[in-house]
Amino acid sequence: MIQDPTLLATTLDAEFAEMSPLDRLKTLREKVKGRIVFTTSLGLEDQMLTHLIFGNDIKIDVVTLDTGRLFPESYDVWRRTEEKYGKRIHAKYPQAEALETLVDDQGIDGFYYAKEFRLACCGVRKIEPLGRALDGAAAWVTGLRGDQSQNRLSMPFASYETQKKLIKANPLLDLSREKIAHFCDDHGVPVNALHDKGFLSIGCAPCTRAIQPGEPERAGRWWWEDDVKRECGLHLPDRTMVSEGAGI
């Protein structure tokens, strides 16, 4: 019988509400026929998911997008994670020619000067590599939490992405940061050293700062922009990504 991915996503979304994150991952792997990819930013939430996947030998590919502008601490936790679990976190890099053209056009840090420059940089360093990471995949796992931002609050546990033609699953959607931090501490999960320095959401080094007391969790991402719904484009609805130019 041919799977109807839209119907399957709806079914998973309903079932996930009563499951633990581990059971969500196991159910996803059981019900989805085909390759499943988890893309990790090497942050706290993603480290919990990596632990669950590697520690329970769930057949899900773990991939990171190495933009070339990551913090040294991110590479450190990448190495420590591979050492702990004895498994590889696979990398996707920007296309060399596209990256050279980007820097020639807008300068090495052109993203500070205009939002369209920043979106173009995210497009070359993140969006295009993500497309290659998900090529041929039947499902995509993310570490999104609903309380991270207003945009993410309305996301479901599972949905069918029409442009990417795959199921997107968010196994940690209803968990708090505190609960995830306790889990990582209790299970000895390697975590990024930047979290203890006020970096709650970690991306590229030039585009991330520590947050100040009272600021929301993602205030340190692209802080020079006025838009409160700042995203790189990886997790925006398909139509939004196109209209904002984030799908370059």
Secondary structure, 3-state, 194-229: HHHHCCCCCCEHHHECCCCCCCCCCCCECCCCCCCC
DSSP helix/strand/coil, 84 = helix
- The residues annotated as belonging to the active site are 232
d(CA 62, CA 90): 6
The DSSP output letter for 56 is: T
Q: Is residue 184 a known part of a binding site?
A: no
Q: Are strands 61-65 and 139-141 parallel, antiparallel or unpaired?
A: unpaired
Cα-based distances in Å from 154 to 46, 178, 222: 20, 20, 22
CB 147 within 8 A of CB 153: yes
Q: Does 122 appear as a known binding residue?
A: yes
Cα distance between residue 172 and residue 194, in whole Å? 21
204: annotated binding-site residue? yes
Q: Are 81 and 58 in contact (CB under 8 A)?
A: no
Annotated binding-site positions = 121-122, 204, 207
- Binding residues for [4Fe-4S] cluster, by number, are 121-122, 204, 207
